[in-house]
C-alpha cells in the first residue's frame, strides 16, 4: 500500500502548526505568496492551470472546476459573483470544518485567487449556521486579510478588487444545494431553482455566479504554486489530486484524513481508522456521505476511492464521508434515522420529495418496529424508485438512493424484520 507522505499533502501539510488560523503564522508558512503570483498572471491563465489540474468539485457532484469557471459569460456587463459553499450538512461529512477552523486563510487566499480568475469583485462565504466557532474564526481571519491589504480595493497594488462577506445560514440542509444557497442568500426561502439557466449564466441576483465548495477553493493556492500538471500527477484516471476523507462509524480512529485519490478503501480503513473497533466484523460501508448507496464487505475488498470505481459498484464518492457499519448494527435502524433526516430536511417544493420522503420514513419505521409486511417492502422500493430524477434538486434522489441500495444489497436482513400476515402478504 502506497500512502501519501506528509510532506506531499496539499490541504493538511501544516495543519498541526500552532495558531495556523492566524494571519502571521499562515504567512510564515508561505501564505498569500501564491496570491501575489496569481495577480501577475491573467485570469485566463489561471483558469487554464485549473483545467490542466483536473480538479473536480469536492462538494459531492464532482464537476470539473476549470470548466465550470469557463462557462461564465465574462462580457455580459453584469456583476459576477463567487460564492463559497460552506454549508456542510451531509451526515457523515465534516471535512470542510477542519479547513474553516484550522486554516481559514488558505481558504480566503483560494477565494481571492478564484475571484480574480472569474472577474468577480464581490464574494460571499455562506457557512452552515451550526458552525458557530468556525464562523467566529473566519470573521477574524477576514478582518486580518482586509487589514493587510489582501481584501478590499486594489489588492496588493493590483487592479483586482474584492469584498468578501461571511453569511451564516439558518441550519437548512437544502441550502447546501447551490441554487438553494443562492435563494437563501437573496433573502428568500432556501429552495432550489430550476436549471437552466445555470448559476454561471444567471445565478445570484440574476447575475453570472460561480459556486464552489470549501475544499475546492482551498486547493487553488497549491495549484497556482506548483501548476496544474503537478496536481494532475496525483490520483488516478479522472480522479486527480488528493482529497479530504471523513472516516466515522465503528473504527478505532475516526477523523479527517487527506489521501491521494485512488487509494484502496480497505487499506484506508485499516491504516487511518485503525481497523474495526473491538475487532468487530464489517457489515457495510457508506462511501460518500449518507446519500450514497452502500458497499458490501466483498465490494470493500476491491474498491478504490475514485469516481470510476464507485460508479462500477453503483454508488458515488460524493462528499467523501466514509461511514463504517459493524455486523452487530441494524441496517433498518440506520435507514430509519436516514429517512427521518431527509424527510425533515425536504424543502417541500416538489411533490415526489415532499410526500416521498415522508412515506419512506413511515414505511421504514413500520418495518423497523415489526409492523411491516412484504407489501411494505415492495412499496418501499416502488416509492424510492418513483422519487429518482423527478424533482428540481437531488434531495429526493439523496433520500431514495440509500434505501434502494440497502434493499438491493442486504434484502434478507431487511426482510427479517417483516411480520407474517394472516392474509398471506407477509414473509
Q: What does the DSSP assignment read for 289-357?
A: STTSPPB-HHHHHH-BSSHHHHHHTT---TT-EEEEEETTS-HHHHHHHHHHHHHHH--S-SHHHHHHH
Q: Which domains does the chain have, with CATH numbers?
A: 6-233 (3.40.50.11540), 236-326 (3.10.20.600), 331-415 (1.20.1440.230)
pLDDT of residue 186: 97
pLDDT of residue 48: 98
Secondary structure of 233-253 in HEC code, one letter for each residue:
CCEECCEECEEEEEEEECECC
Alpha helices (runs of H) in 118-240, residue ranges in sequence order: 132-148, 178-185, 214-226, 228-232
pLDDT of residue 61: 83
pLDDT of residue 2: 77
Phi, psi of 397 (to 5 degrees): -65, -40
Within the chain, which residues score under 50 in pLDDT? 421-424, 426-427
Alpha helices (runs of H) in 22-74, residue ranges in sequence order: 23-28, 33-38, 43-53, 65-70
pLDDT of residue 425: 52
Distance from C-alpha of 139 to C-alpha of 108, rounded to nearest angstrom: 11
Q: To the nearest 10°, the Cα dihedral for 104, 110, 112, 117?
A: -170
pLDDT of residue 419: 82
Distance from C-alpha of 330 to C-alpha of 130, rounded to nearest angstrom: 29
Percent of the chain with pLDDT over 90: 96
pLDDT of residue 62: 87
pLDDT of residue 1: 62
Amino acid at each position: 500500500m502506497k500512502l501519501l507522505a506528509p510532506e506531499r499533502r496539499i490541504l493538511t501539510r501544516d495543519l498541526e502548526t500552532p495558531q495556523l488560523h492566524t494571519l502571521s503564522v499562515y504567512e510564515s508558512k508561505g501564505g498569500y505568496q501564491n496570491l501575489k503570483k496569481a495577480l501577475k498572471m491573467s485570469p485566463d491563465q489561471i483558469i487554464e492551470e485549473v483545467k490542466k489540474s483536473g480538479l473536480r468539485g469536492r462538494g459531492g457532484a464532482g464537476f470539473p472546476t476549470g470548466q465550470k469557471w469557463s462557462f461564465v459569460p465574462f462580457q455580459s456587463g453584469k456583476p459576477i459573483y463567487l460564492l463559497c459553499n460552506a454549508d456542510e450538512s451531509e451526515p457523515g461529512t465534516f471535512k470542510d470544518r477542519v479547513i474553516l477552523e484550522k486554516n481559514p486563510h488558505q481558504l480566503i487566499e483560494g477565494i481571492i485567487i478564484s475571484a480574480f480568475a472569474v472577474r468577480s469583485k464581490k464574494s460571499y462565504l455562506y457557512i452552515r449556521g451550526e458552525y458557530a466557532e468556525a464562523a467566529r474564526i473566519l470573521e477574524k481571519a477576514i478582518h486580518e486579510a482586509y487589514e493587510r491589504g489582501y481584501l478590499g480595493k486594489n489588492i496588493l497594488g493590483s487592479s483586482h478588487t474584492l469584498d468578501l462577506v461571511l453569511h451564516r445560514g439558518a441550519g437548512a440542509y437544502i441550502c447546501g444545494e447551490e441554487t438553494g444557497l443562492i435563494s437563501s442568500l437573496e433573502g428568500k426561502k432556501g429552495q432550489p431553482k430550476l436549471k437552466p439557466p445555470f448559476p454561471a449564466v444567471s445565478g445570484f441576483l440574476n447575475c453570472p455566479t460561480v459556486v464552489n465548495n470549501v475544499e475546492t477553493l482551498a486547493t487553488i493556492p497549491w495549484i497556482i504554486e506548483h501548476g496544474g500538471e503537478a496536481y494532475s500527477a496525483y490520483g488516478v484516471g479522472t480522479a486527480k489530486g488528493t482529497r479530504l476523507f471523513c472516516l466515522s462509524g465503528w473504527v478505532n480512529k475516526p477523523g479527517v484524513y487527506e489521501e491521494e485519490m485512488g487509494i484502496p478503501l480497505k487499506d484506508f480503513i485499516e491504516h487511518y481508522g485503525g481497523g474495526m473497533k473491538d475487532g468487530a466484523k464489517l457489515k457495510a460501508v457508506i462511501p460518500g456521505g449518507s446519500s450514497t448507496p452502500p458497499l458490501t464487505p466483498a465490494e470493500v475488498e476491491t474498491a478504490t476511492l475514485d469516481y470510476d470505481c464507485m460508479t462500477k459498484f453503483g454508488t458515488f464518492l460524493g462528499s467523501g464521508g466514509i461511514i463504517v457499519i459493524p455486523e452487530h448494527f441494524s441496517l433498518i435502524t440506520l435507514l430509519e434515522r436516514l429517512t427521518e433526516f431527509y424527510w425533515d430536511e425536504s424543502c417541500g417544493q416538489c411533490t415526489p420529495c415532499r410526500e416521498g420522503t415522508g412515506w419512506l420514513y413511515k414505511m421504514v419505521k413500520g418495518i423497523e418496529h415489526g409492523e411491516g409486511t412484504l407489501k411494505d417492502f415492495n412499496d418501499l422500493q416502488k416509492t424510492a424508485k418513483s422519487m429518482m430524477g423527478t424533482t428540481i434538486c437531488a434531495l429526493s434522489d439523496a433520500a431514495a438512493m440509500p434505501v434502494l441500495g440497502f434493499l438491493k444489497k442486504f434484502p434478507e436482513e431487511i426482510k427479517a424484520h417483516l411480520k407474517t400476515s394472516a392474509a398471506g402478504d407477509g414473509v
